[in-house]
């Protein structure tokens, strides 16, 4: 289908991909505006994580929305239709979910011969999630999800295998970085709002009566620890254990 030798890519090829990803990251964060699409993609994953968790725990959702121009620190919103969902699962899903997504992409890139299939499957997944959960009146959310899905499917059909691996790692690294920035913002909200319970960590803490579970920062640190360990474990397994010689 792609007309290439899957076995030809060795450690030097993969390290070339890694170098390209690091260079791209420098450019993305040096040139104003280039990181914005990745920030919106992170928000999409954040809200999709909440929406999927609601459905998986027995609830239903009206949909989620990614704001084109975030205001008051709110980049997106998910609206459930009922209260049947489990908040212990749903509240952290928006934070831990994107980090697990990042870790999963890194792990999948350790199997470069599957990269086109992986990228293509992700494209289909983005399209399905967009159609299933985004507000039908939110043109920006629909455009974002469908554009990412079509882009991934297009990359899956191009003949350069290493480019598919590059895309997997670039998205993984950027989503991982955005995830860490989100934890910094969440910690700031917790410290500013204290007991107002407007953020997910404070809402989580309100479900418990005993220390330290009733402290919002406890949940910020727990979710961050799970995210960091997941991403670092995926990086170690992929780049220091699985790359062929």
How far is Cα 9 from Cα 113, in angstroms, rounded to an integer? 9
Range of the domain at 11: 6-242
Residues pairing with 134 in the sheet: 64
Terminal-residue alpha carbon distance, the chain: 26
Tens digit of pLDDT at every position of the chain (245 positions): 333 343 445 567 777 888 899 999 999 999 988 999 999 999 999 999 999 999 999 999 999 999 988 866 688 999 998 888 999 999 999 999 999 999 999 888 877 778 889 899 999 999 999 999 987 668 999 999 999 999 999 998 887 788 888 898 999 999 999 999 999 999 988 887 655 557 899 999 999 999 999 999 999 999 999 999 999 999 888 877 755 44
Look at residue 4 in the predicted model and tell me its pLDDT: 37
> Is omega for the bond preceding 212 within 30 degrees of 0, making it cis?
yes
Look at residue 2 in the predicted model and tell me its pLDDT: 37
Look at residue 191 in the predicted model and tell me its pLDDT: 84
Q: Is residue 1 part of a domain?
A: no
Query: How crowded is residue 24: how many other Cβ atoms within 10 Å of its Cβ?
Result: 16
- Find out whether 157 and 115 touch, Cβ atoms under 8 Å: no
Helix H or strand E segment including 98: helix 87-108
Q: Is residue 203 part of a domain?
A: yes
Helix axes 139-157, 115-133, angle to 10 degrees: 160
Look at residue 193 in the predicted model and tell me its pLDDT: 67
Q: Is residue 118 part of a domain?
A: yes
- How many domains does one find in the chain? 1
Look at residue 196 in the predicted model and tell me its pLDDT: 59
How far is Cα 172 from Cα 45, in angstroms, rounded to an integer? 12
- Find out whether 80 and 61 touch, Cβ atoms under 8 Å: yes
Reported pTM: 0.90
């Amino acid at each position: 289908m792609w007309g290439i030798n899957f076995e030809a890519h060795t450690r030097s090829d993969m390290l070339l991909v890694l170098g390209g990803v690091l260079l791209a990251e420098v450019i993305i964060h040096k040139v104003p505006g280039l990181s914005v699409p990745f920030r919106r993609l992170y928000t999409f994953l954040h809200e999709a994580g909440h929406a999927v968790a609601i459905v998986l725990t027995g609830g239903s959702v009206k949909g989620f929305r990614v704001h084109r121009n975030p205001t008051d620190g709110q980049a997106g919103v998910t609206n459930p239709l009922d209260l049947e969902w489990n908040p212990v699962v749903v509240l952290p899903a928006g934070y831990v979910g994107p980090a697990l997504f990042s870790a999963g992409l890194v792990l999948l890139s350790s199997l470069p011969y599957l990269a086109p299939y992986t990228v293509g499957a992700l494209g289909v997944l983005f399209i399905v999630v967009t159609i299933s959960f985004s507000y039908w009146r939110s043109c920006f959310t629909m455009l974002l999800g469908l554009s990412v899905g079509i882009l991934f499917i297009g990359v899956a059909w191009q003949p350069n295998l290493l480019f598919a691996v590059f895309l997997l790692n670039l998205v993984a690294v950027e989503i991982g970085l955005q995830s860490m920035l989100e934890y910094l913002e969440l910690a700031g909200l917790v410290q500013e709002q204290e007991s107002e319970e407007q953020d997910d960590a404070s809402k989580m803490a309100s479900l418990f009566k005993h220390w330290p579970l009733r402290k919002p920062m406890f949940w910020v640190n727990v979710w961050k620890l799970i995210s960091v360990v997941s991403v670092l474990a995926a990086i170690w397994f992929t780049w220091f254990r699985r790359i062929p010689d």
